[in-house]
Amino acid sequence: MLLRLLWLTPVLCFAARAQHETKDGEKAKHPFIGDLAAIEAGRQQFSTGCAGCHGPDGGGGRGPNLQDRGVWHPLGDEDMYKLIQKGQGLMPGANASVDEGWRLVAYVRSLTTPAFEMKAPGDAAAGKAVYAANGCANCHTLQGKGGKLGPDLSNAGLRLPLPKIRKAVMDPDDAIAEGYQGIDLVLRSGERVRGVVKNRTNYSIQVQLGNGSLRLLNVGDVETMTLREATIMPVDYAKKLSKTEMDNLVAFLAQQAAGAPAMAAKQ
Amino acid sequence: MKKLMLAMVVALGVNAQVKYEDIVKGPGKDWLTYAGDYQALGLSSLDQVTPENAANMTAKWSYTVPGASGLRTRPIVYDGVMYFTNSNEVYALDARSGRLIWKYTDLKAQKKDAANRGAAILGDKVYFSTVDVHLVALDRRTGGLIWRKQYGDIKKGEFASSAPLAINGMIIVGNGGGDLGMRGAVTALDAETGEQKWKTFTVPAKGEKGAETWGEYVEWGGGATWLSGTFDPALNTLYWTTGNPWPDFYDGDRKGDNLYSCSLLALDATTGKMKWYFQFTPQDTHDWDAQSWPVLVDLPYEGKLRKLVFHANRNGYLYVLDRVTGEYLKASKLIDKLDWSTGIDAKGKPMRVKGKDPTPNGNRVCPGVRGATNWMSQSFNPATGLLAVVTLEQCDVFTSSEQKPEPMKNFAGGGAGPKPKDAGQFFLRAFNPLTGQKVWEYPMTGKGNMWAGAVGTKTGVIFVGDDDGHLVAVDGKTGKHLWHYQTGDDVYASPIIYSAEGKQYVAIASSKTVFSFGLFEPVKSVPVPAIKIQ
């Protein structure tokens, strides 16, 4: 009991001073929130303990999927800190130091914070050149320009957190975006149709070709249909790009947020 | 794999784009603008469905919109793809199968609680308004966001619900919020960049001409512009209607005509400058917005070919104006239950019956607050000279409140609604606007809850949503029932007509689901293909 009290004392003290009233009366965020070094340190702590239940990337396992913001959305930073330290139900407390606890909060937050709102490492301007040099525009669209075989990236920075953008470039096979499964069809007429599957039922298949045009095909007109379980995106960017190039490319993609008012300022 | 990718990339072709000239042509295969055409004739040239075979119509597909409740959307269709909206969302469906191609959800919208009436299309962009008054441009092939531009301010009581109107190089938008205090405006944005080209307020600022027709609250006066307008390319003129003055039901603080509320505005499309206005209901106290279609027609009037505009107004009258000058030509009654006025005088002003304003204890007035008609679509067929309009025979009890008006505080100056056992009845009616004659009517006997309109074909079929959840087909010459389909839901949106792969469809959104109908075809047996997964 004494030990527990001693353990709680610093937590509560820190909690009391973790958020500061600013001049405007708004609560200031803990400095670890959004800090990449703290997030990385939090990720390493996470992988040694929390990952056992929440999955190696927070994607869920025996415990809830933390990449789904709905799981913890009602929690503010302070409450999440307390939950991590104390535990809840079947979840044991982390019993970590104050800084370690806040690093875990920073990491969990980063799983869902839009990349546009994070300080991405890398040079976005240089990343634009990486995007161009590697032919990304052959399959991906930005601001209405580019190919249609991969997801439109115009708003990637608002839709995806940084780790997901990085993962999607380095390991595109991990999760293929809905509507972008590769398909190769031979029709009974002899025609061959290749593209990505927008949707498919037992009776018809809709294919989007590289130029964006759509073909709705009746299953009855199809001789053979080959669906790709693997992505059609090249899977060698993790090897092909240097760390700097990868950072730059991720920084460039993180800035793709056509609807964000601050976009012009950031660019 | 690289070879496969290369082949797909090399297969790039130049996709067709929606040109302004395509919209000018009016509806054929595609339905390119909210009203179907710039004139709001609501008349398709597709000829597969006729009065003789309409009874063979059947549902081809349906798409239930996740989380939807009270869809107001009227889809547009281009090149086999249907685009429709829900609040802060756009969906692209295959128009033949109803299957989802992409969906856009606006992540930045600061306000969510308003309906959305539809999208616009021009070039390779699909446009729609978010509730928080931003115009959003999307890549029509991917749903990717291209830009998002603010054109109004929710902090000033505005929101957006109407479908944008795409004209030559510009997107024209309106605003809503007139029941709680705001300032109506029509705004033009550059179709390519979203840059604002012009903005015309529908209510003057203090000190401006027309401000003398108001009182202290002129700058919160309303005159919202929540329904798309129509457009005459030859006259380069937009025709846009305005909503009620605020507070809706109490005029003690706004003694005067309250310009330019409850009006039709003719605006120069290049500059936004007002060419003329026609006010249907000066100093309105019954929430009779002018939001109903300005239908643009060229017809002989008293022996001379005139450029006319028809307007079926919520106040109970069907007007005929000269659309070049705004000159009043004629008005006739849309409904039988009309007691607030004895008619329209030679200058187009209503001759009011005294004692028909709202009172603190309530005053029964006809038509009711929903009006003799409303924003539902109409259909005009030049071959018959008939305008099909959904009308409502209803009287409401109107109350007023002398409470000091407070903008954006849920204050409308009173209220309105029917007495128990005094519910109204909807009719689809066909009028000859030039003579004022009601040629036929199709009575609806459902529960009286609907905002669905009409659409017609040149072959003589009119489709209309009814007040009992049906899509109904009637004969355009006689109003005779031809066919109906129960959607299982209320219908708050208007139907459209399009074709894909040579087959004609009629589509309508119910409260939660978009349906598409066509002529019955037996299903062919489907051989199973060989499926390989790599």
Give tens-digit pLDDT for B431-474. 999 999 999 999 999 989 999 999 999 999 999 999 999 999 99
A164 or B39: which carries more pLDDT confidence? Answer: B39
Residue B311 has pLDDT above 80, yes or no: yes
Q: Give the domain extent around A217.
A: 181-227
> Touching check for A152 and chain B: CB below 8 Å?
yes
Residue B489 annotated as catalytic: no
User: Is residue A166 located within the same domain as residue A129?
Assistant: yes
The whole-number pLDDT of residue A1 equals 37
Top pLDDT among A12 and B118 is at: B118
Residue A27 binned pLDDT confidence (cut-offs 50, 70, 90): low
Q: What is the pLDDT at residue A34?
A: 85
Q: A–B: how many Cβ contacts below 8 A?
A: 149
Contact partners, residue B493, CB within 8 Å, separation at least 6: B71, B72, B73, B74, B117, B451, B452, B465, B508, B509, B510
Contact (CB, 8 A) for B62 and B518 = no
How is residue A162 written in tokens?
């940084």
Query: What domains lie within chain B, and their CATH numbers?
Result: 16-519 (2.140.10.10)
Q: Closest residue of B to A259, CA-based?
A: B148
Active-site choice (B22, B132, B287, B468): B287
Q: Are residues A148 and A168 in the same domain?
A: yes
Same domain, yes or no: A94 and A156: no
Residue A214 lies in a domain: yes
pTM here is 0.86
CB contact under 8 A, A209 and B11: yes
Report the residue of chain B nearest A179, measured CA to CA.
B101
A128 shares its domain with A255: yes
CB A129 within 8 A of CB A140: no
Nearest to A110 by CA among A83, A82, A74, A72: A72
Q: Do B533 and A227 touch (CB under 8 A)?
A: yes
Examine the pLDDT at A180 and tell me if it is beyond 70: yes
Instruction: Let me know whether A214 and A149 are in one domain.
Output: no
* A151-174 pLDDT tens trace: 999 999 988 999 889 999 999 998
Q: Is A21 exposed, middle or buried (0-12, 13-18, 19+ CB in 10 A)?
A: exposed
- Whether residue A220 and residue B524 make contact (CB cut-off 8 A), yes or no, is yes
A264 touches chain B (CB under 8 A): no
Residue B517 pLDDT: 98
State how far the Cα of B263 lies from the Cα of B277, in Å rounded to an integer: 7
- For B258-310, the DSSP string reads -TTTTEEEEEETTT--EEEEEESSTT-SS-----S-EEEEEEEETTEEEEEEE
The count of domains in chain A is: 3
A256 and A213 assigned to the same domain: no
Asked if residue A12 and residue A135 are part of one domain, the reply reads no
Q: Sheet harboring B425-432: ordered strands across?
A: B379-381, B386-393, B425-432, B437-443
- Does residue A143 fall inside a structural domain? yes
Neighbour tally for A243: CB within 10 Å: 9
pLDDT of B187 > 90? The answer is yes
Contacts of B94 in chain A (CB under 8 A): 198-199, 206, 214, 216
Distance from CA of A148 to the nearest CA of B (A): 7
Q: Is residue A246 situated within a structural domain?
A: yes
A9 Cβ under 8 Å from any chain B Cβ: no
Q: Report the CATH number that the domain containing residue A165 is assigned in CATH.
A: 1.10.760.10
Least Cα separation, residue A78 to chain B (angstroms):
25
Looking at the fold, whether A6 and A41 belong to one and the same domain comes out as yes
Whether residue A86 is contained in a domain is answered as: yes
| Strand partners for B414 | B400
For position A196, which CATH number holds?
A: 2.30.30.100
A118 domain-assigned: no
Q: Give the alpha-carbon dihedral of B483, B488, B489, B491, to 10 degrees.
A: -10
**Mapping DSSP to helix (H, G, I), strand (E, B) and coil, where does residue B463 land?**
strand
Note whether A109 and A132 are same-domain residues: no
Q: How far apart are CA B453 and CA B389, in angstroms?
A: 8
- How far is B407 from chain A, CA to nearest CA, in Å? 27
CA distance A7 to chain B (A): 41
Residue A119 lies in a domain: no
User: Which pLDDT band, with edges at 50, 70 and 90, does A68 fall under?
Assistant: confident
pLDDT for A76 beyond 90:
no
- The token duo for B1 is 């794999």
Chain B positions in Cβ-Cβ contact with residue A210 (cut-off 8 Å): 8-12
Q: A87 and A25, same structural domain?
A: yes
A255 touches chain B (CB under 8 A): no
Token pair of B406 as six digits? 């407070």
Interface mutation vs chain B, best among A113, A138, A196, A240, most B CBs within 10 Å: A138
Q: Do A218 and A88 belong to one domain?
A: no
Chain B within 8 Å of A211 (Cβ-Cβ)? yes
Contact B102, B87 (CB under 8 A): no
Both A145 and A243 in one domain: the answer is yes
pLDDT at A24 over 50: no
Contact (CB<8Å) B532/A227: yes
